Amino acid sequence: MFTESTDVVVIGAGVTGLTAATRLRRAGLSVRVLEARDRVGGRLHTDVVDGVPLEIGGQWVSPDQDALIETLAELGLETFSRFRDGDSVYVGPDGTARRFIGDIFPAPEKTQREIERLIEVIDARAAEVDPEAPWAHPRATELDSISFWDWLGQHTSDAEARENVSLFIAEAMMTKPSHAFSALQALFFAASAGSFSHLVDADFILDKRVVGGLQQVPLRLAAELGDAVLLERPVHRVEWDERGEGVVVHTTDRTVAARFAVVAVPPVLYPRIGFSPALPRLVQQAHQHQSFGLVIKVHAVYERPFWREAGLSGTAFSPYQVVHEAYDNSNHGDGRGILVGFASDVRADALFGLGAAERKQRVLESLAAYYGAEALTPVVYYESDWAAEEWTRGAYATSFDLGGLSRYGAAQRVPVGPVHFASSDLAGKGFQHVDGGIRVGREVADAILAATTTTAATDQARAS
Ligand code: FDA
């Protein structure tokens, strides 16, 4: 067993842990990063599948994500815009594909007006929610005790409007059915992205991609840290001092003693680590009320982006299709056409119940409903399956069950002695996004730096 000491040990080399580690190291502290997988980046991963680079995990950057945009500039990474020229497609409840331009789906006119009205209502309610403290909303408990689906039902009697507005947060963001999370959680999500209108506007929320893939961010941060990052080192035990005086972290072949630990893994994985002494009861309870959503991100590659020839942008939506949304995801400077589609929550359950060939067929038929029969014959096909990954277990991120956010949310980011918790799942602004992970990584690093400054000042005062 190898034993070492450092100022800060970071558990998890996703974008959040690596942001914290580089910030601490730039400020002069020593760090050790322990990562369970054989690569860095966690939910950010660019892989080459049958000769095509595909972004298996997170990829998009939106204009409000200033922490991420700053990091991209700092790391010298370039972005490019998603292809969006031409008409979008909407498939309605009768299965008919209709072209449209703008954000509002070409539903019957009355339903369109109702969707616009609901967007205004949600924007106004979301503006009342502080993304850093949604539990502090005066009606937090009440809004957290009703599902988003039921709450929408209280605000409209138009079924198609309700299904479409639900899609923007349920299938598209939380990847859970809208009966499984609260109205408070939905309003918080909108507030964390700046407004509900931002989530509705695909040109905003899915604006840009990084040349070479978004995993470049953790890869470059890890390169800066060099051999401070150790791979294939799952942490299984954290011993911490209740007076805040240090922590000892264990992997199977290494013991790291540190003044502070940053646990930068998704909250559902905290129970994989044995804490001694046990974490406070409120914290242990909070972890049990958070869970991952489920989405299959599907990549279909074609010799050429054939939909563009038909005047289609590649953007497609339908709450009635297996693939509820899809986009042109062709790579920068590559002539091949790539479509990316998403099948969420209960539809993902149903797809995973099928064999691989039938699942592929269902997905491609759904793409064909938007783009025509040519979509049935991609040259490369790939499904991102994060729920099958031991060190993630779902996609895109975690959220509270009904009532959990108001009851436990405030405890999420409070350090326990020398142990700090960080991940995009705990973010306020940028919740569930890379931007949020960077914000939380910075915040945790600054809290540790403030604590070390205070300790140094106290030691100096004692000595003089
Ligand atoms: P993350 O989960 O990435 O990192 C945690 C790390 O801890 C992992 O590397 C894991 O292996 C490691 N670990 C776990 N347990 C451990 C243990 N016991 N010991 C040591 N290491 C351990 N976001 C966005 O901004 N734009 C987007 O377009 C998308 N799209 C998207 C698509 C898909 C399919 C997914 C899955 C996710 C997205 N996201 C996204 C979300 C985004 O990818 C996500 O919010 C962040 O990458 C999360 O970063 P973290 O570092 O917080 O966790």
Distance 339 CA to ligand 1 centre (A): 23
Cβ contacts of 112 within 8 Å, gap of 6 or more: 104, 105, 106
The amino acid occupying position 361 is Q
Distance 74 CA to ligand 1 centre (A): 21
| Cβ-contact 235, 264 below 8 angstroms | no
232-262 tens-digit pLDDT: 999 999 999 888 789 999 999 999 999 999 9
Ligand 1, atom 34, residue with closest C-alpha = 57
Ligand 1, atom 38, residue with closest C-alpha = 58
Pairing of strands 2-11, 31-34: parallel
Residues with C-beta less than 6 Å from any ligand 1 atom? 11-17, 34-37, 42-44, 57-60, 234-235, 264-266, 269, 272-273, 297, 384, 386, 391-392, 395-397, 423-424, 432-435, 437
- In the predicted model, residues of the chain with pLDDT beneath 70 are 455-459, 461-464
CA distances to 34, 41, 457 from 448, rounded to whole Å, are 18, 23, 14
Distance 267 CA to ligand 1 centre (A): 11
Atom of ligand 1 nearest to the CA of 392: 2
User: Where are the extended beta strands (E) located within 321-374?
Assistant: 325-328, 337-344
45-103+201-211+295-393: CATH number: 3.90.660.10
Q: What is the pTM of this model?
A: 0.97
- Report the pLDDT value the prediction gives residue 86, as an integer from 0 to 100: 96
CA 106 – CA 38 distance, rounded (Å): 46
Q: Which of 69, 292, 382, 424 to mutate to test the pocket of ligand 1 (most atoms within 8 A of CB)?
A: 424
CA 96 – CA 369 distance, rounded (Å): 8
Atom of ligand 1 nearest to the CA of 394: 36
CA 13, 16, 19, 20 torsion: positive or negative? Answer: negative
CA 383 – CA 348 distance, rounded (Å): 11
163: its two tokens:
């299904």
User: Where are the extended beta strands (E) located within 56-146?
Assistant: 79-81, 87-91, 97-100
425: its two tokens:
């799942």
- Report the pLDDT value the prediction gives residue 394, as an integer from 0 to 100: 98
| Region at 325 (left for phi over 0; alpha for psi -120 to 50; beta for the rest) | beta
* Backbone φ, ψ for residue 155 (5° rounding): -105, -10
Q: Please tell me whether the interface predicted TM-score (ipTM) of this complex is above 0.95.
A: yes
2-42+215-279+416-463: CATH number: 3.50.50.60
| Cβ-contact 26, 35 below 8 angstroms | no
209-223 tens-digit pLDDT: 999 999 999 999 999
Domain boundaries, the chain: 2-42+215-279+416-463, 45-103+201-211+295-393
Helix residue spans in 233-322 (DSSP H) = 281-288, 306-309
Ligand 1, atom 27, residue with closest C-alpha = 58
Distance 42 CA to ligand 1 centre (A): 4
- Report the pLDDT value the prediction gives residue 375, as an integer from 0 to 100: 98
Atom of ligand 1 nearest to the CA of 17: 51
Distance 41 CA to ligand 1 centre (A): 7
